[in-house]
Chain A
Amino acid sequence: MELESISQPALEQIDRLQGADLVVGVLDADGNGGPAASAAMVREVLPKFSDAARAVLIVDDGAPGARLDDQQPLSVLYCKLSEPNVTTEASPQTIFEAYQTIFGLSGRIGARACGVIASDLRTVTPEWIDRLVRPALEMGFDLVAPLYARHKWEGLLNRSVLSPLSRALYGKRIENPMGPDFGLSGKLMRRILDDYADLRRGSPRQPLASLASIAIQGNFQICQAHVGARTHPLAEGTDVSSLLAQVLGPVFVDMDRHAAVWQRVRGSQPVPDFGEPEPPPAETGAVDVRRMIDSFKLGAANLQDVWSQVLPPTTLFEIRKLSRQPPDQFRMPDSLWVWIVYDFALGHRFRAINRDHLLRSFTPLYLGWIASYALEMENADSAAVEARLERLARAYETGKPYLVSRWRWPDRFNP
């Protein structure tokens, strides 16, 4: 893999390290004391690993070029992980680029395990690194996905699409298939780098979107680790349509690449988890349901021509019916939502319309789902929220035959 942001002298210094047991990549080194604090956390955790004598910490300092502070047992590599600097303008795209750089460096160093911390360092503790890395380093697991302590209004894109879709497609109940904090074994790392090498030159590489699918396809051992509450340096002011385009696009592309795998999967199994779950943080503020319902209604009124390119008439009819509901009765059935997600994935695959237009036109539908979820879960406790999300995940599994049949025989149906 090309490491364009790393200078040749720095690469030569890395090669002189002659390998390391552990690589830890920290994307948000600006928070909570900068690289020094990140290094302190890794130094605190390192002695707890019986098998890790040497580690390399990779931090983004935003400066061009790269420099290596080679010390025992922890060396620190300061480099720019993406263009632009991931900490100042952290869009999903820049996060993807940072991951590519870390994976490439880990592969070059030849580490036995790699941990990537993308969350805001203000919430990250040394236990995070320990819980994400130990299963990969000492317990034989290859992919360690995070389990965050979240209140019911957090991670809604993950809860509505990413997690249940990944579960239905690949049969593993991974709560955060796109992390973004992960632990990986050296074996999985090499598999990922081989996968990138197989991609056509110029094809986009989206590591977060394909981590879980590559691990499942290759029969790697997967587990999850409770890491506590988190905040993400990604500015939540990023408009929703851009967010959807940047996150869902790679997910749908990955679906296309691994279609032969997920079409054979039936049902789902849980994956082992480690650590004690922490109570979710308290919610602050109220969800502006009205604005989201208005967005949904505006979309239903104006985007029928666009949606009709990917959604069947029955789905469009249900959407129109839903848009006429009064706010207090606004409830989007799980089956409708699942069909919408699956039809958009199909529309993305068959390029029914320009892909960017397709993903951005998904925004009013997504906001409609949030509004429906918010109205339903307004006074719900954690257990009720978990039960609700479990029902949604089962709806994705139940609706999978619809996806498979339309994927295989698109000509049998033409919206």
Chain B
Amino acid sequence: MWQQVEQALSQSTTRVLSQIASLLPGIVALILAVLISLALGAILASILQRSLNSIDFDERVLRWGFQSIADWSPGKSPTLLVARVAAWTVIFTGFLIGVSAFDLTLTSALVLRFLEYLPNVLIAVVVLLVGSLIARFLARSVLIGAVNMNLQYARLLSAGVRWMVMVLAVAMALEHLAIGGGIIRLAFGILFGGIVFALALAVGLGSKELVTRSLEREATRSAAASVDEPVRHL
């Protein structure tokens, strides 16, 4: 009996050690792939940072109207954001290569799902960028228009428009990323509807007197201006 026990032990030990031995190359390959990708990612990030700094990428992003990107970037630097995204992409690719050394079908499935998801990510990024541009444009239009109409709450209106457009853009981006699903739709509906409802209440009730005074002032001035104002611009 002790011989059978010894035999069983020996066989199981051999089996486990064989399995471990078969995994070892894969593990070494994974570690190697990650280390190499770390090095490559660091080099790529350094090159990208120098190139983007040489063309004043941070200032250009601000001039193009992407203030929000600058605000959300690490160290408020879009250059750093781009460099880090590129570096992490390289590291992630290295990780996938390393994992494929274990199980080719697993990594193939992973890569396939990642590639299927990538267009959604790109569209979401585009939606956010376009939404940011539109929000900025509309906010500025409303601000200038409201100031020219002598509305004291011009800044409030402008901020309201900007946030409404950004909320819409974020909700659309999340929809494309298939994050949250129905919860996002519900939350967006409640938030957007709430903002509109709050604005309507503010105009109708909460700041009724302020709006009334402002509109009365303008109506009085317009009426007086049309009757007595001698100023002619042309």
Q: Are B155 and A302 in contact (CB under 8 A)?
A: yes
Which residues of chain B are near A276, meaning CB under 8 Å? none
A207 interface hit (Cβ, 8 Å): no
CA A288 to CA B232, docked complex, whole Å: 12
Q: Are A306 and B140 in contact (CB under 8 A)?
A: yes
Which residues of chain B are near A239, meaning CB under 8 Å? 148
A234 interface hit (Cβ, 8 Å): yes
Q: Are B140 and A156 in contact (CB under 8 A)?
A: no
Q: Are B150 and A156 in contact (CB under 8 A)?
A: no
Which residues of chain B are near A287, meaning CB under 8 Å? 229-231
B66 to chain A, nearest CB (A): 15
B12 interface hit (Cβ, 8 Å): no
B194 to chain A, nearest CB (A): 26
CA A363 to CA B150, docked complex, whole Å: 11
Q: Are A286 and B228 in contact (CB under 8 A)?
A: yes
User: Given known contacts A153-B231, A241-B148, A302-B155, is B224 in contact with A288 (CB within 8 Å)?
Assistant: yes
Which residues of chain B are near A384, meaning CB under 8 Å? none
CA A313 to CA B147, docked complex, whole Å: 21
Which residues of chain B are near A158, meaning CB under 8 Å? 234
CA A240 to CA B145, docked complex, whole Å: 11
B39 interface hit (Cβ, 8 Å): no
B177-234, CB < 8 A from A? 221, 224-234
Q: Which of B155, B225, B227, B230 lies at the interface centre, i.e. has the most chain A CB atoms within 10 A of its CB?
A: B230
CA A294 to CA B152, docked complex, whole Å: 10
B46 to chain A, nearest CB (A): 29
- Which of the four size classes fits the interface of chain A? 35 or more
B143 interface hit (Cβ, 8 Å): yes
| Segment at the B interface, from A251-259, A339-347, A354-362, A389-397 | A354-362
B144 interface hit (Cβ, 8 Å): yes
CA A299 to CA B147, docked complex, whole Å: 6
A50 interface hit (Cβ, 8 Å): no
CA A239 to CA B146, docked complex, whole Å: 13
A113-165, CB < 8 A from B? 151, 153-158
Number of B residues, CB within 8 Å of A: 24
Residue in contact with B234 in the complex, picked from A232, A286, A288, A361, CB distance below 8 Å: A232
A266 interface hit (Cβ, 8 Å): no
A283 interface hit (Cβ, 8 Å): yes
B169 to chain A, nearest CB (A): 19
Q: Are B140 and A298 in contact (CB under 8 A)?
A: no
Q: Are A156 and B141 in contact (CB under 8 A)?
A: no
B71 to chain A, nearest CB (A): 15
Q: Are A361 and B228 in contact (CB under 8 A)?
A: no
CA A236 to CA B225, docked complex, whole Å: 10
User: Given known contacts A237-B226, A288-B221, A354-B137, is B144 in contact with A156 (CB within 8 Å)?
Assistant: no
Which residues of chain B are near A291, meaning CB under 8 Å? 150, 221, 225
B93-147, CB < 8 A from A? 137, 140-141, 143-145, 147
Residue ID in chain A nearest B154 by CB atoms: A302
Q: Which of A234, A240, A287, A302 lies at the interface centre, i.e. has the most chain B CB atoms within 10 A of its CB?
A: A302
Q: Are A154 and B154 in contact (CB under 8 A)?
A: no
Residue ID in chain A nearest B228 by CB atoms: A285
Which residues of chain A are near B140, meaning CB under 8 Å? 306, 353-354, 357
Q: Are A236 and B147 in contact (CB under 8 A)?
A: no
Which residues of chain B are near A156, meaning CB under 8 Å? 231-233
CA A374 to CA B229, docked complex, whole Å: 12
A74 to chain B, nearest CB (A): 30
A364 interface hit (Cβ, 8 Å): yes
A243 interface hit (Cβ, 8 Å): yes
**B-contact 0/1 string along A81-125, CB 8 Å cutoff:** 000000000001000000000000000000000000000000000
Which residues of chain B are near A151, meaning CB under 8 Å? 230
A63 interface hit (Cβ, 8 Å): no
Residue ID in chain A nearest B233 by CB atoms: A157
User: Given known contacts A241-B148, A302-B154, is B141 in contact with A357 (CB within 8 Å)?
Assistant: yes
Q: Are B232 and A155 in contact (CB under 8 A)?
A: yes
Q: Are A153 and B234 in contact (CB under 8 A)?
A: no
Q: Are A298 and B152 in contact (CB under 8 A)?
A: yes
Q: Are B230 and A283 in contact (CB under 8 A)?
A: yes
Residue in contact with B232 in the complex, picked from A154, A247, A298, A357, CB distance below 8 Å: A154
**What are the 10 A-B residue pairs with the smallest beta carbon separation, nearest first?**
A285-B228, A157-B233, A153-B230, A154-B232, A241-B148, A285-B230, A363-B148, A360-B144, A153-B231, A361-B144
Sample (6) of A-B pairs whose CB atoms are under 8 Å apart? A156-B233, A157-B234, A239-B148, A286-B230, A303-B144, A360-B144
